[in-house]
Amino acid sequence: MEAIPYLAAASSVMGLMLAAYFYSSVRAADPGDERMVFLMTEIQKGARAFLKKEYTWVSGFVAAMAVLIALLIAPTAALTYVLGAVLSATAGYVGMTVATMANARTTQAAKEGPGKALPIAFRGGAVMGFSVAGLALGGLMLVYILFVLVLGVEDAFEVVTAYGLGASSIALFSRVGGGIYTKAADVGADLVGKVEAGIPEDDPRNPATIADNVGDNVGDVAGMGADLFESYAGSIIAPISLVAFALGLGAEDASVATNISLLSFPIAIAFVGMLASILGSFLVKGGDSTDTKALSRALHMGTNSAMAITAVATVGIAYWLFGSDSAFDNPLGLAIAVVGGLVVGWALGKTAEYYTSDHFGPVKKIAGQTETGPATTILGGISAGMISVAASVVLLAVGVALAYWGGEMAFDSIGNLDGGIYGIAVAAIGMLATLGVVVSVDAYGPIADNAGGIAEMAELDPSVREVTDALDSLGNTTAAVAKGFAVGSAALTALALFKSFEFAVVQAGGTLSLNIGEVDVFVGLFLGAMLPFLFAALTIDAVGRAAQEMIEEVRRQFREIPGLREGEPGVNPDSARCVEISTEASLKEMLIPGALAVVVPLVIGFVNINALGGFLAGALVSGFCLAIFMANAGGAWDNAKKYIEAGALGGKGSDNHKAAVVGDTVGDPFKDTSGPAMNILIKVMTIVSLVFASAFVG
Amino acid sequence: MEAIPYLAAASSVMGLMLAAYFYSSVRAADPGDERMVFLMTEIQKGARAFLKKEYTWVSGFVAAMAVLIALLIAPTAALTYVLGAVLSATAGYVGMTVATMANARTTQAAKEGPGKALPIAFRGGAVMGFSVAGLALGGLMLVYILFVLVLGVEDAFEVVTAYGLGASSIALFSRVGGGIYTKAADVGADLVGKVEAGIPEDDPRNPATIADNVGDNVGDVAGMGADLFESYAGSIIAPISLVAFALGLGAEDASVATNISLLSFPIAIAFVGMLASILGSFLVKGGDSTDTKALSRALHMGTNSAMAITAVATVGIAYWLFGSDSAFDNPLGLAIAVVGGLVVGWALGKTAEYYTSDHFGPVKKIAGQTETGPATTILGGISAGMISVAASVVLLAVGVALAYWGGEMAFDSIGNLDGGIYGIAVAAIGMLATLGVVVSVDAYGPIADNAGGIAEMAELDPSVREVTDALDSLGNTTAAVAKGFAVGSAALTALALFKSFEFAVVQAGGTLSLNIGEVDVFVGLFLGAMLPFLFAALTIDAVGRAAQEMIEEVRRQFREIPGLREGEPGVNPDSARCVEISTEASLKEMLIPGALAVVVPLVIGFVNINALGGFLAGALVSGFCLAIFMANAGGAWDNAKKYIEAGALGGKGSDNHKAAVVGDTVGDPFKDTSGPAMNILIKVMTIVSLVFASAFVG
């Protein structure tokens, strides 16, 4: 049992080696003709430039936080905080680099059909998947082994938690900054290009096309990578912190048998999940068939096998760790909690799919509502999004109850640690243990999307675009599952961190009332429920302002560059300027909402710690509801538009289509900026509070 | 002091007499020519038919609830429940009757200028204002005097609380049903009339025009009347319940000196407020001037004087009731709580005005966003609405903190009753004590609006319409204040009722944990935060479906009635059929969301009472945020459209205007259906829980 952290560290190295292997195999593929290489390089340059600038800006924030942590908590905690931030940033950078390499190679392979292109896109995604999982787990195990097991520093578990805060900081800024970038470029390119100049999407004449493709990479790839790095690390840290703070553990207690079991359980699942993911990734094979159903099966095969293996292994781990210790009643309960979490995460994803895929009623209904114009289309999406909140909250409540019940079955309580609460804390790890392969499939989507963009911009044969479109649409259902995991695990992790916060305050010698019958807690609850609304408004406005700058630049180029709109040979737009504008605007706009998430809980915590407790709970429930609402309303509009574009209700160019485009544009910042950032917002605020708990009390 | 309830009862009779006097004076005015009388009668018939049908449907619900209350609580509570429902319905009916009488008379008087028309519209509104205030206070005092003071029945204070539940039930269904009706007719009339047939608003050729005008009355007048009846009664009942349940009072305790003071304080303020309102209503005089600024001053004079008198008198009352009792430290604190509540309510109204009036930045910004089409218009309104949530929650938090601090200043605690909590409970009464005159000014708005509609339909000289439009716009700022009071008082009242619920459970011998660190409470919090989203979705969808039925009927009539669209003389639309469709559709659609509000807390309460506590808190904070968001986003779009129609940014018919119309249509169900119903939803759920607290425990 003592070997578990070491095994997990070893598995993370294996994951990283796999990432390196996939990287070299993607690199070896043919990137296509000169024009394609040029486009790929442009996108890569733009994405790199953005990330470099973003990391420069964010490093200022990280440095300030590190100083604060060093002064108020412990210098070692500042160190792990920086490590978490650096590794998360690295994972994003690596993933983005390979994604921008894999795009043109996927396009090139698509000339030979989907069976050839699928593996390249998947392996590109897998580099990201295993970099994220490997770095997150490896870094965490390094911190755990070094500070808890080897050095046994004071406040060892605060030091571990600070690693998570580092990851959260990067995730928050990446999601917000990347989200603003991608939508500013997208909206800017669409409004002037498609609507005003009347040229198709991804047309090489549009100066914002490169920026739009860069945006896919910095938002959907780097942003999502940092997000999932944080979720994954958070889901392992949350139960560890909970155990440590509830039982008041110091480093020396980490070698007591019962404590080892409790602390190692989530790590052991992560270990098995990593191995299962590595195995699963080899099950994704293109084969010779070009049938999309067969391809879809191939893609799902990897994730489904990895999850099944992990679920079965979890039962074994539970019995192995808890079976012989009399402190525990029935180890099966903890396996139920973990697998239950996995099932609920899956169901949340399926719910999202039901409300956002054009195979089901809700999106078809919204498409039908385009008949009476954009207003009814908007109302339809809003109502579908809000109803999906109800379904998702009920599912989550079932998941929480199930995990609690499972935990109670395993043990009633050990010290201050309630079995049910431990059950909730470990429930998120089930969803995220197979992160390596889940992200591979998820990051595959934007690569296929970009491949399509390159096919268009390089003016290749339309048959190539058809292949990349088919690949792109394949990724949608798996992306839904990843989204469900992200949002479900966010709620469970935040809940566990919230409980840890409660214990941390008590451990630090403070008292904390979480009784909503008391006025300070209730006022905090109110303020917390409000914050996600403010955050959503700020990010929506940010996208609007950034898009406006982009629109003006595109208009200027069409006006000032002769022959550009007409597509005269040799006349190229100044794409680099558009990339620059998106970069500057999105970074400037990222600061206020990002800082809000860190500053507000700190201010409230130093004023009144009970109010902070209420605040975190309010933000958690209201943020979850808004996250689901925005993500699903946005997704529903997007697919209603695609449904019409595929030929339904008059197809492209009809009034219905115009109404659907309005819905899609409203949904863009919903689903790609505000919504996804909300999941991190919830966790950042909770983990900031947890790390600074002792400072609030002191 | 013992006389206070009797004095309040007497003042309510005075209010009712004033209503009767204003009624006769409105009735005496000239309703105009034959065509105007015909239109007025049609609107009146439609509105009456709707209310009759609505009350028939709702009476089934009221009867079922009464049986439940009689069986589970007490037969006397069932009696007062029915009384509250009947009086609320009566107030709505009376207000609606006079409003539909005053409309044509205002139009007729408008021929002689605004100075003549203003008093008629105001007095029409005042009938409603004083009917609502008089019946609500009179009924409540009857119940209090009879069951508490004279008969001294067992569970006397549950019996008083049940009166509030009766009022809430009617308010909920009136708001939801009326809200669906008014928007279905409005959207239906606009979409086919303005957009498809290209005829102006309120054109007599449009078959839905009468239904649209009926909708203004059943939604804005009867719905608002029932809403404010409930708010007013609730704001007096909440502190009484709180005192009674916290101290475990029976009827016999109501004659102990300290208890008398605590119980009588809100009643005494209501008494003074009623007198001040009566006085204020006489200060609204048309005068000879036709200057709109002078008219606006005249209109504000009444409310401002009444509020100032009440505020000053509150200080006196506090010293009189609490000054000589050694249980209290500083009576001034309670006056601070009450006046602070008044100021915060006013500030909430001003915040709403800032975000929704075209005199300020936010609406101008949204109007500017119409430049880039409907999508950016929608995003602008959503973000403005969400930012207004932040401002409003901060204001409310200040109000709660101030009231708490004031209450603590007055007394630390008496038995289980904390001074701060008592301060919060009485804070809402300050906003609503002058309800008589506030509603007069508020109900004036729809009367002026309807008068404009009649001027249009009767094809009067455009100068008449100009006068009614000027009157209509006058009402907007005062309406904002009334809205602020409605939403602010809803939050404070619900908070006080929530505390009463806590005490009621304990009094009934149960235990209640409100610790959000516990899983059942947290799951409840989650479910509660979700419910307002579900409720909003259901009501938005309901409007959509009802509007669709209306659209089809209007299209049918244009198709099948020859000469209708062309406006051939003697060809009239079948308006009655449209009224019928709106009525049936809105009543059918009202049932599910309405029932949800009552059934869900009952189900949760019987399953797990701690979860119910979390549920109520979650619904309160998330419902408040959504209510503000929807009301202000909707209001902002509405006025952005009006701003453009007034000539800005290309004016009527421009692309900007079209984009603004999309925003306005999205905002219609936001601001007139879902948003306003949310305030009642919060209170209904809390008061249901409070009334049934003993049953949950038993």
Cβ of B393 within 8 Å of Cβ of A529? The answer is yes
Percent of chain B with pLDDT over 70: 98
Separation between Cα atoms, residue A588 and residue A597, nearest integer Å? 16
- B661 to chain A: closest CA residue: A375
Q: Does B525 touch chain A (CB under 8 A)?
A: yes
The reply to whether residue A526 touches residue B624, judged by beta carbons under 8 angstroms, is yes
Mean pLDDT of the region B228-247 = 94
Q: Is A681 on the interface with B (CB under 8 A)?
A: no
Q: Which residue of A has its CA nearest to B670?
A: A379
Helical ranges in B144-223 per DSSP H? 156-189, 209-215
Contact list in A for residue B401 (CB cut-off 8 A) is 519, 523
B646: three-class secondary structure by DSSP = coil
Q: What is the pLDDT of residue B12?
A: 97
Mutant choice from A513, A520, A534 vs B, greatest count of B C-beta within 10 A: A534
Asked whether the beta carbons of B133 and B15 are under 8 A apart, the reply is yes
Candidates B417, B428, B360, B419; CA nearest to B391 is B360
Which among A420, A618, A629 has the least Cβ separation from residue B533? A629
Dihedral sign, CA of B152, B155, B161, B167?
negative
B400 and A372 within 8 Å at the Cβ level: the answer is: no
Share of chain A above pLDDT 90, in %: 60
The residue with tokens 């905002």 is B667
pLDDT of A477 reads: 63
The single residue listed with the structure tokens 């008083």 is: B160
Task: State residue B478's pLDDT score.
Answer: 65
CA distance A491 to chain B (A): 10
DSSP notation for B293-346: HHHHHHHHHHHHHHHHHHHHHHHHHHHHHHTT-TT-S-THHHHHHHHHHHHHHH
Which amino acid type is present at position B591?
Answer: L
Phi then psi for residue A324, to 5 deg, are -100, 5
Write the pLDDT tens digit of every residue in A116-144: 888 899 899 999 999 999 999 999 999 99
CA end-to-end span of chain A? 36
| Per-residue pLDDT tens over the stretch B377-421 | 999 999 999 999 999 999 999 999 999 999 999 999 999 999 999
A243-300 per-position pLDDT tens digit:
999 998 888 888 888 899 999 999 999 999 999 999 999 888 766 566 667 777 777 8
Q: How far is CA B436 from the centre of its chain?
A: 13
What is the distance between the alpha carbons of residues A647 and A638, in angstroms, rounded to a whole number? Answer: 15
Cα A523 from Cα A279, distance rounded (Å): 50
Sequential DSSP letters for A62-99 = HHHHHHHHHHHT-HHHHHHHHHHHHHHHHHHHHHHHHH
Candidates A526, A617, A662; nearest CB to B393: A526
pLDDT value at B204 more than 90: no
Please give the distance of CA A604 from its chain centroid, rounded to a whole number.
Answer: 27
Distances (CA, A) of B364 to A191, A244, B415, B653, B660: 22, 54, 53, 18, 12
First to last CA, chain B: 36
Query: Residue B103: which of B221, B278, B225, B203 has the closest Cα?
Result: B221
| Cβ–Cβ pairs < 8 A, chains A and B | 219
Tell me if chain A has a CB within 8 Å of the CB of B506. Answer: no
Task: Give the mean pLDDT of A626-639.
Answer: 94
Q: Across residues A463-469, what is the average pLDDT?
A: 86
How far is residue A149's CA from residue A240's CA, in Å, rounded to a whole number? 14
A327 and A411 in contact (C-beta within 8 Å)?
yes
Q: What is the mean pLDDT of residues A467-487?
A: 76
For residues B212 and B186, the answer to whether their CB atoms sit within 8 Å is yes
Over residues B347-376, the pLDDT tens digits come to 998 899 899 988 899 999 999 999 888 999
pLDDT recorded at residue B567: 79
Q: What is the pLDDT of residue A529?
A: 97
Inter-chain residue contact A376 with B544, CB threshold 8 Å:
yes
CB B218, CB B47: distance < 8 Å: yes
Q: What is the mean pLDDT of residues A313-333?
A: 93
pLDDT digits (tens, 9 = 90+) for A490-515: 999 999 999 999 999 998 999 999 99
More confident: A189 or A17? A17
Q: pLDDT digit string (tens) for A95-113?
A: 989 999 999 999 999 888 8
- The mean predicted confidence, pLDDT, of chain A is 90
Gap between the Cα atoms of B617 and B614, Å rounded: 5
In angstroms, the CA A644 to CA A596 distance is 39
How far, in Å, CA of A48 to CA of B528, rounded? 44
Instruction: Tell me what pLDDT residue B613 has.
Output: 96
Q: How far is A623 from chain B (nearest CA, A)?
A: 10
Q: What is the mean pLDDT of residues B158-182?
A: 93
Q: Residue A531 and residue A674: Cα distance in Å, rounded? A: 12
Of the candidates B601, B596, B623, B620, which has an alpha carbon nearest to the alpha carbon of residue B612?
A: B601
Close Cβ partners of A305 (under 8 Å, ≥ 6 residues apart):
A276, A279, A280, A283
Contact B519 A420 (CB under 8 A): yes
The Cα–Cα gap between A663 and A636 comes to 9
Could you give the angle at the alpha carbon of A638 between the alpha carbons of A463 and A231, nearest 5°? Answer: 100
What would the DSSP string read from start to end of B107-141?
HHHHTT-HHHHHHHHHHHHHHHHHHHHHHHHHHHH
Residues facing A515 on adjacent strands: B515
Cβ atoms < 10 Å from Cβ of B687: 30
Structural tokens at position A29: 């593929």
CA B183 to centroid of chain Cα atoms: 16
In this structure, what are the phi and psi dihedrals at residue B515, rounded to the nearest 5 degrees? -80, 110
| Mean pLDDT value across chain B | 90
The conformation of residue B223, written as its DSSP 8-state character, comes to: I
CA distances from A541 to A377, A585, B467 (A): 21, 12, 39
- Residues 334-393 of chain A whose Cβ lies under 8 A from any Cβ of chain B: 369, 372-376, 378-380, 382-387, 389-390, 393
- Determine contact, residues B216/B450, Cβ cutoff 8 Å: yes
Mean pLDDT of A669-693: 92
CB A530 within 8 A of CB B389: yes
Q: What is the pLDDT of residue A535?
A: 96
| B289 band by pLDDT with thresholds 50, 70 and 90 | low
Which one, of B418, B422, B476, B423, lies nearest residue B449 by Cα?
A: B476
3-state SS class at B77: helix
What is the pLDDT averaged over residues B258-279?
Answer: 95
Reply yes or no on whether the pLDDT at B676 is more than 60.
Answer: yes
Kind and range of the H or E run holding B418: strand B417-418
In angstroms, the separation between the Cα of residue B684 and the nearest Cα of chain A is 19
| Ramachandran area for residue B216 (φ above 0: left; ψ -120 to 50: alpha; else beta) | alpha
**Secondary structure class of A418 (helix, strand, coil):** strand
Least confident of A142-151, A161-170, A251-260, B190-199: B190-199
Which of A195, A502, A527 is nearest residue B517 as measured by Cβ atoms? A502
